[in-house]
Amino acid sequence: MVRPINVKAEEPEKVMQKAVAGVKDGTYTGIEHVVKELGVARATLKWRLKGGKSRSEAKEIAQRLTPQEENALAMWISTSTATGNPVHHEFIREMAEKLIERHLPNNQIIPQLGSSWVPSFLRRHRHLKTRMSRAIETAHIKYVTKEQVLHFNEEFRRIIQEHSIRLENIFNADETGLLQF
């Protein structure tokens, strides 16, 4: 089971990042000034100013994909979903394993990702949401042709590019509700 997100624990990290940036850009006159103003831990601030990493940054080395690969995978999932092709968890796992395979020398066995890897990945990329899909009624499928779907997708992509629409500003509304991509 994947640990739930602790939003409350993220706030001190944001304050610490603000403190480090404030000392570096001269907003605060020194460490004591920051500690007094923002209430951050003196020892942690000193350690961060010397190049120390946050917990999440320190754990990046243990992750199977690099941050750039994770971001690319997240973008691919968002794009696929926005174009009407939601991605199943198993396919996300397969794509991640393909990315890992690129790092390995030839003939090395590809290590399998654990059962909690996809939920952990989705937790790190909160803009991605999981939604249970349901089969489209046969009455709807009956009258839709491949050409219509391809034309719709081409037109949809053209409009997105033409108007520079960001994915977070695209919504899908139907009789089941509203979905943001």
Reported as a single tens digit per residue, the pLDDT across 25-37 is: 999 988 899 899 8
1 belongs to a structural domain: no
Amino acid at 162: E
Helix H or strand E segment including 86: none
Q: Which pLDDT score, from 0 to 100, does residue 135 have?
A: 58
Give 6's contacts (C-beta < 8 A, 6+ positions apart).
Answer: none
Q: Which pLDDT score, from 0 to 100, does residue 181 have?
A: 54
Highest mean pLDDT among 50-64, 97-111, 117-131: 117-131
How far is residue 141's CA from residue 139's CA, in Å, rounded to a whole number?
Answer: 6
Domain around 130: 67-180
Q: Which pLDDT score, from 0 to 100, does residue 25 have?
A: 92
42 belongs to a structural domain: yes
Residue 52, pLDDT above cutoff 60: yes
Among residues 150, 176, 171, the alpha carbon closest in space to that of 160 is found at: 171
Higher-pLDDT residue of 72 and 133 is 72
Model confidence band, residue 60 (pLDDT cutoffs 50, 70, 90): low
- Looking at every residue in the chain, the average pLDDT score rounds to 81
Model confidence band, residue 82 (pLDDT cutoffs 50, 70, 90): confident
Q: How many domains does the chain have?
A: 2
- Are 89 and 159 found together in one domain? yes
Q: Which pLDDT score, from 0 to 100, does residue 73 have?
A: 92
- Are 65 and 99 in contact by the 8 Å Cβ rule? The answer is yes
- Are 102 and 168 found together in one domain? yes
146 belongs to a structural domain: yes
- Whether pTM > 0.75 for this model: the answer is no
pLDDT tens sequence across 138-158: 556 666 777 888 888 888 888
